[in-house]
Amino acid sequence: MRPRDLAGDRLLTELDVAPDGSLAAVVERRVVRGRERHRLLTVPTAGGRARMIAAEASSPRFSPDGATLAYLYRDQVHTRPVTGGPATRVTAFPRGVTEFAWLDGGFAVLAADEGSPVLDGDGTARVIRRLDWREDGHGLRLYPTHVHLVRPGSSPVRLTEGDWWASCLRAAPCGTKVGFIADPRENADLDPHPQVYEVPLAGGPVARASWVDGPVSRFSYDPDGGVVCVAPPSRRPDDFENEQLWLTRPGQPAISLTGHLDRFAGQAPTSDERFTVVCDNGREIAYRVGEQLTELTPPALDPVVHALAAGGGTVCAIASFGGAARPDLYRLAPERELLLRSGGTWLAGFKPPVQRELEIGDVQVFLVAPPGWAEEPLPAVLQLHGGPAWAWPVAPDTDALLLAAAGFLVVRPNIRGSFHRGYAFGAALGANWGEPDAADCHAVLDDLIARGWADPARLGCYGNSYGGFLTNWLIGTSGRFAAAVSQNGVTNQVSDFGACDLGAVYDVDSGLGEVWTPEGVARLWQISPLRHVGNIRTPLLLLQGEQDLRCPPSDAEQMFVALRRQGRTVEYVLYPDSSHSLTDTARLDRRIDRSERMIDWFRRYLGQSPR
């Protein structure tokens, strides 16, 4: 496998199931005649051939009777019969639609306002008064999004207004109101606490509908009208507090449905939050949530579940099993069956890598090696995940596949701070970035060298986001690495406090520090890789999304300028129109380019395997 093979990649991205369970609707990203397309398919859940409904679509949703599919195309709602036929455009909002929900005889939609509280007058200036004026992946939040009622033959009716943003729109089972996530409180940007709110379809005041301590990120309705939502347990959670599934009803204490697991729940989008994905020991496991939790994907199958949807007793998933690097479409219930090969079709054209799972101390390590590897020493690349509260799953990503195919031993450790083994394992890192996490990295490499699998003279490291931070930190505090690639990585925690879209809240809640006390500044500087830039001798390639608002270009640029000024080996590659998840969401030619540059960098400074 080589970077240009990414042009043949297939990736299933979104999923829904018809109310009677007979059909699944799935979006597949492919390259067609040199252009990325996101085609909408329907697949019979009893088995059968897929039917293409639209050549370009997102957010598929079945109608309540299952006869029609609605979807977004060019940011407007369209519908089409599931049996095929012409599409009907439903909405024409000037700034488009972000989300929608079917209603009896129409739709509720979230649409951006035409006016902006940020733009001054005719748009000469942007006047910023709130901290939440930008969000990675969404860009500048210039226009609030609000709920509108859309019925055929009638003008849209606006149901909410204000200087705030609604998301996660859902129709209530009673049919008289819709729910959404928002924080409409004044000065909510200083102390964000998003919850579920509701508005009557007939019009009226917005009312709160969830009562959990933590900020809500997703929700759906229980059939009796209760709210099932995903939220951490604390009002101001640190990075390692497990997001849990909660059932909340007016006037009653919220009930945690998954807190006893001591694992992060809600790790994948789902059409119904009573079906959830829990990350445990590198497996991402689907559960049905009721009086008891029922596993739908046993851990022994090495599942990684990317999306869930249910209807009529049928549960489907975009998932991989057995460490496969790309997912396919499966029915999980009534029993598991492969419905559509997608990623598996693409992967079938390549020799599979050698994959191993190890325990080194308390650290789980996934190894990805070239096909046919016989445990001889190889140049090794330490691949570091982001977060820090995240964890590598058993399935490798395309970076690991490409590096292994190029002759490298790819080392993917779930170091302290990873969220897959409960709160205590994550909190063992806490705010001490660069200490236990770095120690775990060195211990893993020492073990692999002792086994004779990693060549100590040819070690590299690579990571994105927090993984980029740790890459920058390791090469500034150790001379053992012969090459490094840092993508969208933090270098200066002091400046990032204000430059990051959520730094001013995240840094305080996670105990990293703040900038209005000398002690806070000292703490942020203490965990800044830029503090060690004078020690760096490792050749460093910096990859950066130009529109990244989470770890913005200013971070990479400070590292580049400091190293270049000292005459060190450094290159800075900036990708236009690309945000934080550069590896997955950047335009295809940019994904290929960054992969080629990364592999070439490691080949140049680590040398190639003798294979």
Confidence tier at 610 by pLDDT (50, 70, 90): very low
Instruction: Please write the tens of the pLDDT for every residue from 21-47.
Output: 999 999 999 999 889 999 999 999 999
pLDDT (0 to 100) of residue 476: 98
Confidence tier at 84 by pLDDT (50, 70, 90): confident
d(CA 63, CA 101): 9
pLDDT (0 to 100) of residue 124: 86
Q: What is the mean pLDDT of residues 122-136?
A: 89
Q: Phi-psi region for residue 60, left (φ > 0), alpha (ψ -120 to 50) or beta?
A: beta
Rounded to a whole number of angstroms, the CA Rg of the chain reads 24
Where in the chain are the domains? 354-394+408-432+455-492+528-606
Q: Which residue's structure tokens are 């500044």?
A: 521
More confidently predicted of 153 and 264: 264
Confidence tier at 170 by pLDDT (50, 70, 90): very high
Share of the chain above pLDDT 70, in %: 99
pLDDT (0 to 100) of residue 611: 42
Across the chain, what does the average pLDDT equal?
A: 96
pLDDT (0 to 100) of residue 40: 98
Helix residue ranges per DSSP H, 410-552: 423-427, 436-450, 466-477, 493-499, 503-509, 518-526
d(CA 169, CA 588): 31
Residue 194 has pLDDT above 80, yes or no: yes
Confidence tier at 608 by pLDDT (50, 70, 90): low
Contact criterion met (CB below 8 Å) for 193 and 177 = no
Confidence tier at 249 by pLDDT (50, 70, 90): very high
Q: What is the mean pLDDT of residues 416-432?
A: 97
Share of the chain above pLDDT 90, in %: 94
Instruction: Please give the single-letter amino acid code of residue 430.
Output: G
Is the CATH number of domain 354-394+408-432+455-492+528-606 3.30.230.10?
no
Which residue, 64, 74, 12, is CA-closest to 43? 12
pLDDT (0 to 100) of residue 34: 83
pLDDT (0 to 100) of residue 584: 87
Residue 198 has pLDDT above 90, yes or no: yes
Confidence tier at 554 by pLDDT (50, 70, 90): very high
> Which pTM was predicted?
0.97
Instruction: Please write the tens of the pLDDT for every residue from 441-474.
Output: 999 999 999 999 999 999 999 999 999 999 999 9
pLDDT (0 to 100) of residue 228: 98
Instruction: Please write the tens of the pLDDT for every residue from 358-399.
Output: 999 999 999 999 999 999 999 999 999 999 999 999 999 999
pLDDT (0 to 100) of residue 411: 99
Residues 6+ apart with CB under 8 A from 204: none
